[in-house]
Amino acid sequence: MGIFGNNEADKPDETTDPILGGKIQDGEGDNGADKAPESKTEGEPQNVAETIGQRLSQQEEGESKGEQVINPENPVPFDLSKLSTEQLQNLKAMLAATPDRVQRKKKNPTVKLRVIDGKVVMDFKNAYKALVDDPENNRKVERTHIQVKLQGEDTYHSVLYRDFMQADQVVCEILSTRQDKDEIVEGETISRETGRPVEMIVTVVKDFFTIKLPDGSTTEIEGRLANA
């Protein structure tokens, strides 16, 4: 036996935790890797799978209890009767400051027609040359004329082509259009199959416009008359 003795009871128990008590097993200590993971506190973000799972479980729980589950895609209708007087006044002011969306009416196309002696030209023929008196030189001179049919008349009148081109124009709205196809014979041609002469047939397409005249009446004209 030494000076301090050889008694094992006198030695401090190195395997006993002085604070918590109990024995410390091999490998235990203050190493942070051995600590149990801390639980997430309320408000910390969760992963996507946990978030979706919780929302679905809450929705199923509410449906099983007979509670009304609000779908964000189908919100509850807005009830004006539950608003206070001040809220209604604020809403009214906001609506008054919101500009209305103007529904612009689609405009129909228009054409211009000549007007002679206050009547719209409803038809005209090809221009031609004709002799007229020249009082200043006391002789006949050649001038270009054109025959026109005026609104409300059935006969054609011959006028100077210069006067026709200088006449005023009025704008008429096109209400509807249609096409008329016709086949006409224009001479002869050689058939590629037989090598013999055959009639050459040409398909002619004519456009017709139903227009609204300045007096409010409607009529149909040929497309060739428009903007002439």
pLDDT at position 87 over 70:
yes
Backbone angles phi, psi at 137, to 5 degrees: -100, 0
For 186, residues 6+ apart whose C-beta sits below 8 A from its C-beta are 200, 201, 202
118-139 per-position pLDDT tens digit: 999 999 999 999 888 888 888 8
pLDDT at 170: 94
142-178 per-position pLDDT tens digit: 999 999 999 989 999 999 999 999 999 999 999 999 9
Q: Which of 45-54, 65-74, 98-107 shows the lowest mean pLDDT across its residues?
A: 65-74
Backbone angles phi, psi at 224, to 5 degrees: -65, -20
pLDDT at position 28 over 50:
no
For 143, residues 6+ apart whose C-beta sits below 8 A from its C-beta are 129, 130, 131, 132, 160, 161, 162
Q: Does the pTM of the predicted model rise above 0.85?
A: no
pLDDT at position 1 over 50:
no
Q: Which of 36-50, 64-78, 91-105 shows the lowest mean pLDDT across its residues?
A: 36-50
pLDDT at position 32 over 80:
no
Q: Which of 9-23, 95-109, 155-169, 214-228 shows the lowest mean pLDDT across its residues?
A: 9-23
pLDDT at 129: 92
